[in-house]
């Protein structure tokens, strides 16, 4: 129904009044009727006015809500920008994928038009290893699951760097349960993952170090206990009523000997702890040739006694950036082990050489001695106070110290051996260009 | 040496000769043994036991005092091979771990061997010997 305005109504009613014959215009009954019509209209008009006010209120509410929505959207955009959240939408019927600007930024795509030309281009961003996992997550969606949460890696197009992305999405379904569209957010969580990985490896390192310390404490206490147990044993024999004077005298000598061994062990231990604590000695370019010559000079007597021939060649890698004392000690330990564990059945030949693959500088000491049962002893070879020969004296410190020093320099030590044939120790130290 | 009912055949296995010497003395003083055989190599001790079990079981030791930390063959490896010795050896020899270790892990590990009757901390003393002498039960003895 059309609604007349107040003015239109006034015009129409006065016109209608003029159309009436004079006597009727004067008739009180007609006047009353007109009055009634007018009254009805006024009522209607009032109602209309009230409705208008209400409408304005509604408008205001709507406007306010719109404003709030806008603010929320702005805030969301701001947050999205700050957190680098991309928003995407997938249309199930067309298969189209719509991205917002951040999505292109996250994926490092500069030419949007070119990229959008192929609908399947997004699939090519994934790191190949992650494709089965993504496919699986998407396939699971068809089973009435309405939210997708998946983490994967892509190759960012702008710099070809691997980035970790996380996607959270919701799927809208038709009344029949068929997927209509999926809307999701996408975040680059590479920094978080990197930090996490860093923390995990740091944690692992700390746990390893702690375990090493624990076992170090046990090994050391055992070593010290061996000394005190022997001194107690000697004292027990000495004070026994049945011990003759001669034995007692012998025991006094043994006690003194053991006390001095005890002292020596403590000194070695202090030295070991100092080395483990990472020496303050500055690193420098250490020349292998010079260090080897010093080592061979220090071992002059033993070399002469054993009749060993020792050759060295450092043409492939002449130097390494390290602490000089560490390199000296490694070479000294390994060469004296070669001398000590030589075979009785052939003249000893020791070859020392170096090589590099640019990542590592490797130092190798190879001999044709008794060999070590590497398979049997494994990592125990480098254990503190570990000895492997009953007939040959040793403290079980040398190889442990070599390994400790190699690790302090960020390197690794490996051993290969064939019993009664040869043994090769290879030390890989990080190649630092200085 | 003469055989007597309360004198035993004793075997000492320790790579440290000085400990073997001290233990021999204490065992001698305490009149615990009629015969002591000391070995610095666990593998040689096993050879001896194998040989004795096959040809001369009465020369098998009644007690074996075994060190754990030894080069080449350690105490645990000795035990693993001991278990597989001919029956007379396994039946007769009571093994006692005698070590300077105070590591609880070593005590627990020694309990896992049925043939190991006890765990004693070095040095071997008059007290340890008299305890073992009087101990008749099958309970695992810990003397640390």
Give the Cα separation of B141 and B144 in Å (integer).
Answer: 10
- State the nearest Cα–Cα gap between A285 and chain B, in angstroms: 38
Does residue B3 register a pLDDT over 90?
no
Q: Can you give the pLDDT at residue B4?
A: 43
Give the Cα separation of A173 and A182 in Å (integer).
Answer: 9
The dihedral through the CA atoms of A226, A227, A232, A233 has a sign that is positive
Contact A326, A332 (CB under 8 A): no
The verdict on B72 touching A (C-beta cutoff 8 Å) is yes
Considering only CA atoms, which of B20, B11, B99, B72 is closest in space to residue A391?
B72
Chain A residues near residue B123 by CB distance under 8 angstroms: 229-230, 232-233, 236
What is the edge-to-edge ordering of all strands in the sheet holding A309-313?
A309-313, A349-356, A360-367, A422-430, A412-418
Contact A374, A381 (CB under 8 A): yes
- State the nearest Cα–Cα gap between A352 and chain B, in angstroms: 27
Chain A residues near residue B102 by CB distance under 8 angstroms: 221-222, 225
- State the nearest Cα–Cα gap between B115 and chain A, in angstroms: 24
Phi, psi at A370, each rounded to 5°: -65, -25
Give B61-78 pLDDT, tens digit per residue.
999 999 999 988 999 999
Give the number of beta-carbon pairs within 8 Å between A and B: 65
ipTM: 0.89
Q: What are the tokens at A214?
A: 């624990």
Q: Can you give the pLDDT at residue A23?
A: 56
Give A6-33 pLDDT, tens digit per residue.
566 555 555 555 555 565 556 666 566 5
Give the nearest partner residue to A221 out of B22, B102, B124, using CB atoms.
B102
| Residue found by looking up tokens 């001398």 in the block | A339
- CB contact under 8 Å between B100 and A218, yes or no, is no
Give the Cα separation of B50 and B60 in Å (integer).
Answer: 9
Q: What is the DSSP letter of A411?
A: -
Give B99-131 pLDDT, tens digit per residue.
998 888 899 999 999 999 999 999 999 999 988
Chain A residues near residue B71 by CB distance under 8 angstroms: 386-390
Chain A residues near residue B15 by CB distance under 8 angstroms: 390
H helices within A177-286, ranges in order? 190-239, 245-276
Give the Cα separation of B99 and B79 in Å (integer).
Answer: 14
Tell me whether the omega of the peptide bond preceding residue B104 falls within 30 degrees of 0, making it cis.
Answer: no
- CB contact under 8 Å between B101 and A222, yes or no, is yes
- State the nearest Cα–Cα gap between B103 and chain A, in angstroms: 7
- CB contact under 8 Å between A243 and B25, yes or no, is yes
Tell me whether the omega of the peptide bond preceding residue A27 falls within 30 degrees of 0, making it cis.
Answer: no
Q: Can you give the pLDDT at residue B135?
A: 76
Considering only CA atoms, which of B34, B38, B30, B47 is closest in space to residue B66?
B38
Give the Cα separation of A168 and A190 in Å (integer).
Answer: 16
Chain B residues near residue A389 by CB distance under 8 angstroms: 71-72
| Probe site for chain B from A236, A259, A388 (most B CB atoms < 10 A) | A236
Q: Can you give the pLDDT at residue B125?
A: 93
List residues in chain A touching B: CB distance below 8 A: 218, 221-222, 225-226, 229-230, 232-234, 236-237, 240, 242-243, 247, 254, 258, 385-390
Indicate the pLDDT class of residue B22, thresholds 50, 70 and 90.
very high
Contact A154, A104 (CB under 8 A): no
Task: Tell me chain B's radius of gyration from C-alpha atoms.
Answer: 14
DSSP A149-160: EEEEEEE-TTT-
Q: Can you give the pLDDT at residue A37?
A: 60
Q: Can you give the pLDDT at residue B1?
A: 43
Give B27-60 pLDDT, tens digit per residue.
999 999 989 999 999 999 999 999 999 999 999 9
Cβ-in-10-Å burial (0-12, 13-18, 19+) of A204 comes to exposed
Q: Can you give the pLDDT at residue A279?
A: 64
Indicate the pLDDT class of residue B9, thresholds 50, 70 and 90.
very high
Give the Cα separation of A227 and A268 in Å (integer).
Answer: 14
Question: Burial code of B90-121, b = ≥16 C-beta within 10 A, e = fewer?
Answer: bebbebbbbbbbebeebbebbeebeebbbbbb
Enumerate residue ranges in chain A where pLDDT < 70.
1-41, 72-73, 76, 83, 119, 142-144, 278-279, 433-434
Nearest CA in chain A to B41: A390
Q: Can you give the pLDDT at residue A11?
A: 55
Q: What are the tokens at B23?
A: 């233990």
Give the nearest partner residue to B22 out of A218, A234, A386, using CB atoms.
A234
Give the Cα separation of A275 and A273 in Å (integer).
Answer: 5
Contact A366, A350 (CB under 8 A): yes
Give Cα separations from A51 to A41, A43, A45, A48, B47 (angstroms). 15, 12, 10, 5, 114
Element (H, E) at B96: strand B94-99
DSSP A16-62: HHHHS-HHHHH-HHHHHHHHHHHHHHHHHHHHHHHHHHHHHHHHHHH
Chain B residues near residue A254 by CB distance under 8 angstroms: 18
Considering only CA atoms, which of A184, A24, A26 is closest in space to residue A103?
A184
Give the Cα separation of A329 and A323 in Å (integer).
Answer: 10
Residue B9 bridge partners (DSSP)? B35
Q: Which structural domains are found in chain B, ordered by start?
A: 8-143 (3.40.50.2300)
């Amino acid at each position: 129904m059309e609604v007349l305005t107040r003015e239109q109504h006034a015009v129409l009613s006065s016109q209608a009044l003029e159309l009436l014959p004079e006597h009727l215009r004067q008739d009180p009954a007609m006047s009353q009727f007109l009055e009634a019509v007018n009254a009805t209209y006024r009522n209607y008009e009032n109602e209309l006015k009230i409705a208008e006010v209400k409408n304005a209120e509604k408008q205001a509410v709507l406007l306010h809500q719109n404003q709030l929505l806008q603010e929320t959207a702005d805030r969301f955009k701001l947050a999205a920008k700050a957190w680098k959240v991309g928003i995407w939408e997938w249309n199930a019927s067309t298969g189209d994928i719509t991205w917002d600007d951040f999505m292109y930024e996250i994926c490092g795509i500069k030419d949007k038009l070119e990229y959008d030309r192929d609908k399947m281009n997004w699939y090519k961003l994934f790191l190949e290893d992650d494709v089965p996992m993504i496919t699986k997550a998407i396939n699971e969606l068809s089973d009435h699951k309405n939210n997708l949460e998946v983490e994967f890696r892509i190759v960012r197009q702008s710099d070809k760097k691997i980035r970790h992305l996380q996607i959270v999405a919701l799927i809208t379904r038709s009344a029949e349960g068929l997927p209509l569209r999926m809307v999701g957010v996408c975040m680059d969580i590479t920094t978080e993952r990197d930090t996490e990985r860093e923390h995990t490896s740091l944690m692992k390192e700390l746990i390893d170090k702690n375990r090493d310390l624990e076992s170090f404490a046990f090994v050391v206490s055992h070593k010290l206990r061996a000394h005190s147990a022997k001194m107690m044993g000697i004292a027990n024999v000495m004070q026994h009523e049945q011990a003759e004077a001669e034995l007692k005298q012998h025991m006094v000598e043994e006690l003194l000997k053991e006390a001095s061994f005890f002292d020596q062990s403590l000194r070695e231990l202090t030295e070991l702890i100092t080395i483990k604590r990472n020496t303050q000695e500055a690193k420098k370019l250490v020349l292998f040739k010079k260090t080897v010559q010093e080592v061979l000079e220090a071992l002059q007597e033993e070399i002469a006694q054993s009749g060993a021939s020792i050759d060295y060649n450092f043409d492939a890698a002449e130097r390494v950036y390290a602490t000089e004392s560490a390199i000296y000690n490694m070479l000294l330990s390994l060469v004296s082990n070669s001398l000590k564990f030589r075979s009785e059945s052939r003249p000893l030949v020791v070859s020392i050489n170096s090589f590099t693959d640019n990542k590592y500088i490797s130092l190798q000491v190879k001999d044709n001695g008794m060999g070590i049962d590497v398979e049997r002893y494994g990592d125990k070879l480098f254990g503190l106070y570990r000895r492997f020969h009953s007939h040959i004296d040793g403290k079980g410190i040398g190889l442990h110290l070599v390994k400790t020093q190699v690790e302090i320099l960020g390197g690794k030590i490996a051993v290969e051996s064939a019993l009664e044939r040869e043994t090769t120790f290879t030390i890989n130290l990080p190649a630092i260009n200085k | 040496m003469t055989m007597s009912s309360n004198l035993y055949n004793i075997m000492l296995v320790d790579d440290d000769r000085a400990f073997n010497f001290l233990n021999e003395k204490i065992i001698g003083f305490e009149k615990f043994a009629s015969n002591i055989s000391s070995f610095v190599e666990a593998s040689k001790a096993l050879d001896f036991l194998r040989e004795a079990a096959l040809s001369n079981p009465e020369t098998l030791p009644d007690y074996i005092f075994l060190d754990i930390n030894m080069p080449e063959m350690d105490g645990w490896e000795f035990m693993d091979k001991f278990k597989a010795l001919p029956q007379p050896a396994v039946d007769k020899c009571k093994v006692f771990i005698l070590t300077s270790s105070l590591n609880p892990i070593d005590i627990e590990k020694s309990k896992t061997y049925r043939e190991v009757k006890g765990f004693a901390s070095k040095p071997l003393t008059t007290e340890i010997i008299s305890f073992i002498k009087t101990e008749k039960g099958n309970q695992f003895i810990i003397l640390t």
